């Protein structure tokens, strides 16, 4: 399922260097394959903007080969950006007005950084609702990631997230609990998913909203669920899109926050992600950091080069399979005219006959 490099977004070149199939528009026009147009509402902060592009485009590009994918990244004007990120957005991203005019087959909404417990007080709140409501009426299916899941559960279903006693951070075991849904037909019944979040929407809240829970973690948390029709909205609480190094980069960021005095406690390592060797390396580094800070001497460099070669990815195959199935289902129920979310023969309230 090739991606089409329909503009000069640098992510296309980087994915091509990784070996992913990326077609030029000229080559794509010679293929007798239908297009699917996927919107990517990227709400991530500046430091993670490009990485989030790559993560979701990689998952799309690695999915099943039935269509050509045109991915249209866009963001919300309400989100503050530094000069470099704004220049990237101005050059490579679409405007929401363009997205509405051209139509989409599917939409992915990423997470975002927030500054308080009440999402309705965030600067992006009204803009996000506008996009999500438009997609609900005009796009075949919307996939919400982490914070986006919490936001939609809040404004559409009245279910507010709650802060946990500790951050759920690391790679965790999950299991399929609803085997009859096509999204989980072709994946392992037990698999891993990365998480990185302080807040949670409980299984009881998903049930109260009438949502269909498909995958839960060993601790009972919901990872994958759908809207009552089984398809219009897909909810992730975890981060299956993460790269192998994503959690390590978050750990390094938190260590730097500690060094800069922005947090008071040295951060814990992500759970079920760090090998014994890596844990030993990072504990030794922690001791050197604490000693250097106490002595006000030169700080040691983060030992990323030692840790990287021992990291393992135990979630990407399942993530690609779920995204591939999702896109395959969209292909089945969409019309070639993207402004019509469902074919006439399909019940819009239950497109998959669930």
Q: Hey, which residues are catalytic here?
A: 146, 239, 241
41 bridge partner residues: 74, 109
Contacts 24+ apart (CB under 8 A), 10-19: 10/50, 10/92, 11/50, 11/53, 11/54, 11/57, 12/57, 14/54, 15/54, 15/57, 15/58, 15/61, 18/58
For residue 150, give the nearest of 202, 219, 188 by alpha carbon.
202
C-alpha span between 174 and 193 (Å, rounded) = 7
Token duo for residue 61 = 């590009």
Residue 244 · residue 237 · CB < 8 Å: no
How large is the angle between the packed helices 147-157 and 125-138, nearest 10 degrees?
Answer: 80
Residue 161 · residue 206 · CB < 8 Å: no
C-alpha span between 275 and 350 (Å, rounded) = 45
The CA-based dihedral angle spanning residues 240, 245, 247, 251, taken in that order and rounded to the nearest 10 degrees: -170
C-alpha span between 234 and 101 (Å, rounded) = 24
DSSP string, 117-185: S-GGGSTTHHHHHHHHHHHHHHSSEEEEETHHHHHHHHHHH----EEEEEEEEEEEEEEES-TTSGGGT
Q: Residue written as tokens 């070669």?
A: 309
Cβ atoms < 10 Å from Cβ of 98: 11
Token duo for residue 236 = 């992730």
């Amino acid at each position: 399922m090739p991606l089409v490099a329909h503009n000069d977004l640098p992510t296309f070149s980087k994915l091509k260097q990784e070996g992913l199939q990326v077609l030029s528009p000229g080559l794509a026009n010679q293929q007798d394959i239908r297009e699917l147009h996927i919107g990517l509402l990227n709400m991530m902060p500046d430091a993670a903007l490009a990485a989030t592009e790559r993560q979701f485009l990689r998952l799309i590009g690695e999915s099943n080969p039935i269509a050509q994918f045109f991915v249209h990244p866009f963001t919300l004007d309400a989100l503050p950006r530094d000069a470099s990120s704004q220049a990237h957005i101005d050059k490579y991203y679409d405007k929401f007005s363009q997205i509405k005019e051209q139509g989409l087959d599917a939409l992915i909404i990423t997470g975002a950084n927030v500054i308080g417990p009440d999402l309705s007080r965030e600067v992006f709140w009204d803009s996000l609702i506008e996009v999500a409501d438009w997609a609900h009426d005009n796009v075949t299916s919307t996939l919400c990631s982490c914070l986006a899941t919490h936001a939609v559960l809040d404004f559409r279903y009245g279910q507010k997230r709650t802060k946990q006693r500790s951050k759920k951070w690391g790679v965790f075991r999950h299991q399929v609990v609803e085997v009859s849904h096509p999204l989980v037909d072709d994946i392992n019944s037990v698999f891993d998913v990365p998480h990185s979040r302080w807040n949670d929407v409980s299984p009881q809240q998903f049930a109260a909203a009438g949502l269909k829970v498909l995958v839960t973690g060993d601790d009972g948390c919901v990872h994958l669920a759908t809207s009552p029709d089984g398809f219009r909205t897909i909810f992730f609480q975890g981060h299956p899109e993460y790269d192998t190094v994503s959690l390590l980069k978050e750990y390094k960021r938190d260590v730097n926050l500690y060094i800069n005095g922005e947090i008071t406690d040295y951060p814990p390592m992500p759970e079920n992600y760090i090998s014994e060797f890596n844990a030993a390396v990072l504990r030794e580094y922690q001791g050197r950091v604490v000693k250097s800070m106490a002595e006000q001497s030169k700080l040691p460099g983060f030992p990323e080069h030692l840790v990287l070669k021992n990291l393992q990815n135990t979630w990407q195959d399942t993530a690609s399979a779920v995204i591939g199935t999702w896109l395959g289902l969209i292909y089945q129920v969409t019309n070639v005219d993207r402004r019509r979310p469902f074919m006439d023969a399909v019940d819009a309230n239950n497109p998959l006959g669930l």
